[in-house]
Chain A
């Protein structure tokens, strides 16, 4: 058998146990050919399951080992790796869970996987200097309404089942795990600051509205406009300014423009 044919047959039989293994595999003194080949079939599944366990530790705790392994097995059979780097293999797990039973009917676990994926993405996102609020000192007062902001590459704003962040925290602290809401949502901000630490916090409704708008490219005036639907205009401007200062303090903001 030529090398290319052998590799195609070998890979096919590792991925799909139902495929015949390459006929050229010889037995050893102690093992038959099938038993020897099974080492590679088992190693493939074990290794990818380890990647998923590493990326989704809280999900593994919440599901329990058996159910997590069932999920991992389903994902692995559905999703071969096209990545040279194991880091990216598990990124598709939340999307897989959202369209496959039984996980699609359980928002609490699907959202926990989204939360953990965002934490992983923040962890090794591209480095970017955080801007300090004092940088705004160069902006003329008449230009301030036109301010738009860019954010750290690892920043995510997620709408999740209410209680998802608390579940993650409880698992991390090995404390009693709360039950997320089946109907209510929370907005969670996840980011990494210049100290290379990843953080998250649950946003209250007004800040969530403002940050959503800012991340989508909304101007400071547009952010104030959104908030003014919920409060008097002066209060909206003050509130937007308070949020902005906090985003600078937290190291979320990478740049701004006044165009």
Chain B
């Protein structure tokens, strides 16, 4: 097991992008100024072939972070140790800076809905999730990061705010957080809460990574679609997140309606421009 002291955050990686097959040629030919790449773990949990070959080639030049969508950490179904073995094997091969997944469930009774399903913020759910994260961390022999998801429903059962739930999970399970700025923005709109309250409730020493992304606005609600550029409101919230979580690595998610790679690089430069003054502020505060 890694050092799980509160100061055990990995080194800051800088500004990263999602590794998506459509961009393999751009990455291999241009060696772009991207500090690291985040992979969707499941896309590389395959027997062999081009996905793993491309990953090995890109890993030779860039740090990698593994980000999963199927751990189903909040499910009441038993933990899937076959899945976890596959995850561990990929981690052994890839040597990621860290491994993350979502604070959600994806199915019960053996099924997978391939969605990041919402959790009621109850003590029962909290204890359940904490126990499972601890078991996963023991199995993987490393601390993991869990990400707050976008949600579209509210449960009457909830006994606390989402941010209280997330913070409590991190503290009790002694895990890291992947703080998704866009998800906070989307959920704040859908559930009518103040995103600042979320940001201010999370302890910076738990936050290993930030996600930013685009979403779709349907008027009555917003959906986390990752198919649009990052909007101004999310950039503004990202600036606030940087002030609080200054040392966290940042990554832009884009999973559909893919633009030319140069547009993602420009978005990443925008993130750098926002974050750097914030980092300077943090440094000044520390001094």
Contact = CB atoms under 8 A, between A and B. Distances in A.
Interface of A: 1-4, 6-8, 10-11, 14-15, 22, 24-26, 28-31, 33, 35-37, 39-40, 43-44, 47-48, 51, 80-87, 89, 122-128, 153-154, 192, 196
Contact of A124 (B46, B111, B112): B46
Given A3-B120, A82-B110, A82-B111, A127 B48 contact: yes
B108 A40 contact: no
Interface string B39-64: 00011011111111100000000000
Contacts of A33: 153
A65 B108 CA distance: 32
Nearest to A1: B157
A54 B115 CA distance: 17
Chain B interface size, as a band, is: 35 or more
Query: Lowest 5 CB-CB distances: which A-B pairs, in order?
Result: A127-B48, A124-B49, A126-B47, A124-B46, A4-B76
B122 interface: yes
Most chain A CB atoms below 10 A, which of B50, B80, B124: B50
B107 interface: yes
A15 B219 CA distance: 26
Nearest to B80: A84
Contacts of A6: 120, 155, 157
Given A6-B155, A40-B153, A196 B112 contact: no
Contacts of A126: 47-48
B256 to A, nearest CB: 9
A128 B47 CA distance: 10
Interface of B: 42-43, 45-53, 70, 75-76, 80, 83, 105, 107-115, 117, 119-120, 122, 124-125, 128, 152-157, 190-192, 219-221, 223
Candidate in B70, B119, B122, B156 with the most chain A CB atoms within 10 angstroms = B156
A33 B154 CA distance: 9
A7 B113 contact: no
Contacts of B111: 11, 15, 80-82
Given A28-B221, A30-B220, A127 B110 contact: no
B154 A43 contact: no
A36 B220 CA distance: 10
Contacts of B108: 4, 7-8, 11
B74 to A, nearest CB: 8
A196 B53 contact: yes
Nearest to B75: A7
Most chain B beta carbons < 10 A, residue from A1, A36, A84: A84
Contacts of B45: 84-85
Given A24-B157, A43-B223, 14 more contacts: A4-B108, A7-B76, A7-B108, A28-B191, A40-B152, A44-B113, A44-B114, A81-B111, A84-B83, A84-B112, A87-B42, A126-B48, A127-B48, A196-B50
A156 B108 CA distance: 35
A25 B112 CA distance: 21
A28 B76 contact: no
A125 B47 CA distance: 5
Contacts of A85: 42, 45-46, 70
B105 to A, nearest CB: 6
Contacts of A123: 49-50
A87 B45 CA distance: 9
A211 to B, nearest CB: 22
A7 B155 CA distance: 12
